[in-house]
């Protein structure tokens, strides 16, 4: 398979997940959000790294100041909204796979149920380098794949004990 078709496939699958019922986000009142939890900020799924309240004047109503990091590229986003507002919260899941192979920039991963997937690209980030080194050293390890809003990414590795 060429890279192009792979990419196409991936996009296709994304589309499939979007329309397959379970919605990608759900609403939650701002005040019920929690630090370390997730929220959509400016359309990006973010991890909440800071959440503070403020008010205008002593008798004003609470506003929530949210600071989040995009869970995929770690870009910082902020939002300020009345604490009564509903915010969208992304459904975020994590899944562990046994790493099998690295082939022309794509990871080959084994699921618990025995099936393999080969559609995840090795990214040029810290964890990407980490995987490459481990692969080159012949280490046996597990990767954690984070998924939200139809996007997936490896976010952690763990060498088998």
Residues at the interface with another protein (CB under 8 A): 26, 29-32, 34, 36-37, 46-47, 49, 52-62, 68-71, 74, 82-84, 91, 93-96, 125-127, 130, 141, 144, 146, 155-159, 161
By beta-carbon proximity to another protein, the closer residue of 1 and 62 is 62
Assess contact for 136 and 101: CB atoms under 8 A: no
By beta-carbon proximity to another protein, the closer residue of 2 and 160 is 160
By beta-carbon proximity to another protein, the closer residue of 3 and 96 is 96
CB of 83 to another protein, least distance (A): 4
Going from the C-alpha of 150 to that of each of 4, 51, 57, 87, 110, the distances in angstroms are 19, 26, 42, 19, 20
Task: Tell me the backbone φ, ψ of residue 136, rounded to 5 degrees.
Answer: -65, -35
The closest alpha carbon to 55, from 64, 46, 68, belongs to 64
């Amino acid at each position: 398979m060429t890279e192009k078709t792979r990419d196409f496939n991936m996009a296709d699958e994304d589309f499939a997940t979007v329309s397959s019922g379970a919605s990608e986000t759900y609403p939650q009142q701002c005040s019920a959000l929690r630090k370390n939890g997730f929220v959509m900020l400016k359309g990006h799924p973010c991890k909440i790294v800071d959440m503070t309240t403020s008010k205008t004047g002593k008798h004003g109503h609470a506003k929530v100041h949210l600071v989040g990091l995009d869970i995929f590229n770690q870009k910082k986003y902020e939002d300020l909204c009345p604490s009564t507002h509903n915010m969208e919260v992304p459904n975020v899941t994590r899944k562990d796979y046994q790493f099998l192979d690295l082939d022309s920039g794509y990871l080959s991963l084994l699921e618990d149920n025995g099936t393999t997937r080969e559609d995840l690209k090795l990214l040029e980030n810290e964890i990407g380098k980490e995987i490459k080194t481990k692969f080159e050293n012949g280490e046996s390890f597990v990767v954690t794949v984070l998924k939200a809003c139809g996007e997936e990414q490896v976010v952690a590795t763990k060498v088998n004990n």
